Amino acid sequence: MTREQKLAWLAWATICLVWGTTYLAIRVALETVPVFLLAGLRWTAAGAVLALFVQATGRRLPGPRAWGSLALLGFLMNVVGNGFVVWAEQHVASGLTAVVIASVPFWSVGIESLLPGGERLRWATLAGLMVGFSGIVVLVLPEISAGGSEGQAFFRGVMALQVACLGWALGTSYTKRHAAKGDALTASAVQMLFSGMMLLGLATVSGEWRALHFSARSLAAMAYLTLAGSTLAYTAYVYAVAHLPISTVSLYAYVNPLIAVVLGSLLLGEAFSVRIAAAAALVLAGIAVVRGVQSSGGSPAAPRRTRA
């Protein structure tokens, strides 16, 4: 095994560990930081750190010609994709959030099948989608049936996570068709900065600045999300994709929910029942079927990710 391959496997392990823990960090940060400020401060700071890094290595940030597409990607992936995740974690446990977000491939294949040049749905893919979404139903249906304000809030949270998945999938499709080729790190720095400014604008309009304060826990969580979740893990992802097969790198999607569920149960006392385990198993089984069909059909490589 070459040095590059060893570093690539280390990068992959970093992706699995760090992105699996960001759901916990979001939950902790929400204890004192309002939703839009949490996401906005995170992405603005991460974009600034990444921009300084790429400039220090002698690379240039994308010029004004690329700003429109990067702003759109920032909106779809970080404002919609990550913003709705943060909002949902007010009502949905961090481990369950990771399980539901793992259903992004379902939305991706659905959108691709509707777009010109996209891959047509196969029966095996439809079967995988049905299995995966049955897991979401198992997760949500008892809460809806129970009624009450908590059940309604949980349902809204799960629906918000589906909007987040949709935003991410749309951003993925746009990236495949329209995003300019080039340095992924420099493009991501600008994307993060644009999305961070959008989220801070929403925070200002919503009056969230008045409610902002930090505890030692929430400040540490914000620092972790910015430096580890956004900057370190994304750099590791870019390196892993460059030196390992996409099919191997994409396995992080199975590891992240497991880490998030275990940490949420151990550190935050989040409920973990047989029903939740069964729902998670159905979602992950559906993902396995969909990914297997995509791999056998020669689907495009995994998209660039900045959201974890």
The answer as to whether 305 is a domain residue is: no
Tokens of 20: 């699996």
pLDDT over threshold 60, residue 308: no
pLDDT over threshold 70, residue 118: no
Phi, psi of 300 (to 5 degrees): -60, 160
Q: Report which of residues 189 and 302 the model is more confident about.
A: 189
The answer as to whether 61 is a domain residue is: yes
Mean pLDDT of the chain: 84
pLDDT value at residue 294: 60
The answer as to whether 289 is a domain residue is: yes
The answer as to whether 303 is a domain residue is: no
pLDDT value at residue 126: 80
pLDDT value at residue 202: 97
Domain span including residue 56: 3-296
The answer as to whether 206 is a domain residue is: yes
Number of separate domains in the chain: 1
**What dihedral do alpha carbons 124, 130, 135, 138 form, nearest 10°?**
-150
pLDDT value at residue 39: 96
Dist. CA 43–CA 253, nearest whole Å? 22
pLDDT over threshold 50, residue 115: yes
The answer as to whether 163 is a domain residue is: yes
The answer as to whether 51 is a domain residue is: yes
Tens digit of each residue's pLDDT (9 = 90 or more) over 148-173:
777 788 889 989 999 999 998 888 77
The answer as to whether 22 is a domain residue is: yes
Dist. CA 307–CA 270, nearest whole Å? 23
Angle between helices 148-177 and 94-101 (to 10 degrees): 40
Give CA separation, 228 vs 68, 220, 225, 300, in Å.
27, 11, 6, 28
